[in-house]
Amino acid sequence: MSAVTFASVLAGAVERSGTSLTRLHAQLRARGARISLSTLSHWRSGHRLPDPVTSQEVLPALEELLELPSGHLRRALQPRRRVLPLSAPADLAHTMTAGPLVQEALDELGMEDWANGLQTVSAHSTMDVDADGRPSTMIMRSLDRATRTGIDRRALVIFFEQPMVRRPRLRLLAGAHEGRLVSAPEHGFFVTELLFTRPLLVGETVLTEHQYELPPDLELPGRFSVLRVRPSAELVLWVRFHPDAVPARCETVVESDTDTRVTPLDLRGASSAHLRLQDFGPGKAMIRWSS
C-alpha cells in the first residue's frame, strides 16, 4: 500500500481522536515506544512509512491509543494484493447427482456457490480409516482469499452417495463458527453456513479448519473424493489407514471436463496415501482403495 494511503488512515484516526500529534507522541514514549515526533509527523504526512521493526514496536500501541481495531494500521501497510476475478463455477447439476438440490440449498443461504466469492489458495482434506476399514473422521483445512470486501461467510457442503439416517458430527476447529444448516438426509447431503469472525477485506485470507466424525453404522465405499467447482491453487487429499486396515490396492483418480486420469499407488511399507494437485478445478479428485 502506498505511503499516501497509510498516511490517510493514520491522519484520519488522529483527527477523529481529537488529540494532537505532540500529545500522542508523549503517550507513546510513556509506553516505552521508541519513536521521534518528526518520524510520527512524517508518517502522518506520507513522507515516510514505518519499517518492519518499528511497525512491531509502535503500531500496536498507536492503534490502542487511537482506539483502532487491532491490526488496522498494520494492514494498511500491507501491499495491495492483485486478486483475479473468479471464474464461473461448475454447474452442480453436471458434477454431482444431488447437484440441483444442493444448488437450491445454496440459494436458500443466498450464495451462488459454496465459495461465496472466495478463491481457494490451498485446501487440505484428510480421512482416517479405523482398524475395521471404516472411514471414521474427515478433517478439512482451507486457506481462502476474498475477491471483494465484505465477505463474512462461506458454505460447507458434505455429500454422501446414499441416504443418511443422521448427520455426521461437525466440529469447527478454527476460523469460523456454525450458522444455518440446510440438509436433505434422504439424498445424503448437508450444507452448513460457516460464519467468519469478521468481514474480510479484498485480498485478505481466512484459514478455516473443521472435522466430521462419521456415524459408526455408516457404510462407505473405499474412496475419498473432493469436488472443486472453481479452480484451487493447491489441493491435497490424504487418507490415513490404521495399520490393520492397509488396503491391497489403492489408486488416485482425477476427473476434469476433458479427461479422467487413474494412477496406481504402491502402499508397500506405508499406511497412508496422498494426492497433491496444483491449479486444479473444476473437477473431482479421489483416492480409492480395495482389499
Q: What are phi and psi of 112, to 5 degrees?
A: -70, -45
| Residue range(s) of every CATH 2.60.40 domain in the chain | 93-290
CATH 1.10.260 segments of the chain = 6-77
Indicate the pairing of strand 272-280 with strand 232-241. antiparallel
Find, among 190, 197, 193, the residue nearest to 212 by Cα.
190
Answer whether 255's CB lies under 8 Å from 283's CB: yes
List the helix and strand counts (H, then E) for the chain.
7, 13
pLDDT of residue 78: 63
The residue whose grid cell reads 466440529 is 171
Confidence at residue 53, expressed as pLDDT on a 0 to 100 scale: 66
How many whole angstroms separate alpha carbon 122 and alpha carbon 104? 27
Report residue 95: phi and psi, to 5°: -110, -15
In the CATH hierarchy, which top-level class contains the domain 6-77?
mainly alpha
| Distance from chain centroid for Cα 173 | 12
3-state secondary structure (DSSP) of residue 151: coil
Class of domain 93-290: mainly beta
Spell out the per-residue pLDDT of the chain, length 291, in tens. 444 477 778 888 888 888 888 888 889 888 888 788 878 887 887 777 777 666 677 888 888 888 888 777 877 776 544 444 444 444 444 445 556 777 788 888 888 776 788 989 999 999 999 999 999 999 999 999 998 888 999 998 888 777 777 788 999 999 999 999 887 777 777 889 999 999 988 889 999 999 999 988 777 789 999 988 788 889 999 999 999 999 999 999 999 878 899 999 999 889 999 999 998 888 899 999 998
Torsion (CA) 60, 63, 67, 72 in degrees, nearest 10: -110
Question: What is the pLDDT at residue 92?
Answer: 43
pLDDT of 230? 80
Q: What is the CA radius of gyration of the chain?
A: 24
What's the pLDDT at 258? 81
> Which residue's entry shows cell 484451487?
232
> Using an 8 Å Cβ cutoff, are 200 and 151 in contact?
yes
The order of strands in the sheet holding 283-290 is: 223-228, 283-290, 249-255, 260-265
- pLDDT in the model for residue 45: 75
